[in-house]
Amino acid sequence: MRARNPAAALLGVLGVLLVASPWALGLATPLSVATTIEEAMRRGIVIFDETIFERLREIDVVVFDKTGTLTTGQMSVIDADAPADLLAAAAALERRASHPAAEAIAAEFAPVDGVDDSTLPDGGLADESNQEHGGHIQDFSSHSMGVEGVVADTKVLVGHPDLFERRGWTVRNDLLTQVTDARSFGRLPVLVGRDGRAEGLVIVGDEPRERWDDTVTQLSEQGIDIVVLTGDDEDAAEFFSQHPHVDHVFADVPPAGKTATVRRLQADHYVTMVGDGTNDAPALAQADLGISLGSGTAIASDAADLAIVDDDLESVETAFDLARAARRRVRQNTVLALLYNAISIPLAAIGLFNPLLAMAAVVTSSGLLAMNSFRELLDK
């Protein structure tokens, strides 16, 4: 029996060593993750942690903060039914309050256009030229439920219906009906009155974001439970609780209570928190995965694992789609790498692959993985 040429044997061994190197397998996952992160960036999603796609697949509860996340976060006057002079007086009072609803009322019915009374020596309270627009204000006081004061010698009260009840002021039944209707749409009703009785209503709203319900529906159809957190009362949150794909609404939750709520949910679930404000940051950090919206604060972004730059709520659902697509791509690349090894190693072992052909096979397999990885991940 003739001995095999030592040089040929050496070339065969080198061919096997080259094609058996785990280059393709080593590229399968990193390439998929890198291209998914790039795709996310193109869609306005910033990834702070490369493990986020693995973690997204485990999520079974998504918690949305209501104000600024499911809604625009910008209070505005939607409707008003009250005498014009009373609205001007109410605006004069609200200019001295710090609540977002107060700012909306003050901006809508500002007593003096283009004048900020905070720049005046006494805050504008003693400016006699301002009396015809809102009047001289005395005995001003601000409460958690509203404001009150004497405007042009008339006692004016602005705020929550409960504040009127506590003060013993009369509220007509038709106004109470309007209050209930406004709350059913997730809006904030503000009563305005003078001299012991309510005379009208201002409806202030933080409008829901466009297509928020589509985002919630799509996530729910993936088997994810939807939870909404809000500091508003249950009546104001009813608009969201009525949505068929919202599983639970936690109302009257103070900023400090958001973290505790997320922690309780984590006892049985993997939780994603979606928020935008500074007071959301602890909850974002507590959650298994935190997502911040681009319009939010820097503190919220720092606490999150993922940031949506363009402030598009639908990008939350896109992030979950990318996670599933990344997993599919990793599987495809792994199959390609294993298929390459299954074919090339036996061929090299029987001497059909010299080192040059082996290197060509390695380059070809890597090229196939790259081509597969750079294909479009999502159709939409």
Catalytic positions: 65
Q: Where are the alpha helices (DSSP H) in the chain?
A: 6-20, 23-42, 52-56, 84-94, 100-108, 161-167, 173-184, 212-221, 238-241, 255-265, 281-286, 298-303, 314-349, 355-373
* CA distance linking residue 97 with residue 91, whole number of Å: 10
Instruction: Please report where in the chains the tokens 């065969």 appear, as a residue.
Output: 12
- Cβ-in-10-Å burial (0-12, 13-18, 19+) of 342 comes to exposed
| DSSP code per residue over 313-364 | THHHHHHHHHHHHHHHHHHHHHHHHHHHHHHHHHHHHTT---HHHHHHHHHH
Rounded to a whole number, what is the distance in angstroms from the first to the last CA of the chain?
65
Long-range contacts of 38-41 (CB under 8 A, 24+ apart): 39/322, 39/377, 39/378, 40/319, 40/322
* CA distance linking residue 76 with residue 86, whole number of Å: 18
| SS3 letters across 89-140 | HHHHHHCCCCCHHHHHHHHHCCCCCCCCHHHCCCCCCCCHHHCCCCCCEEEE
- Which of 179, 191, 272 shows the shortest CA–CA distance to 229? 272
- Which of 73, 68, 74, 63 shows the shortest CA–CA distance to 216? 63
* CA distance linking residue 35 with residue 360, whole number of Å: 24
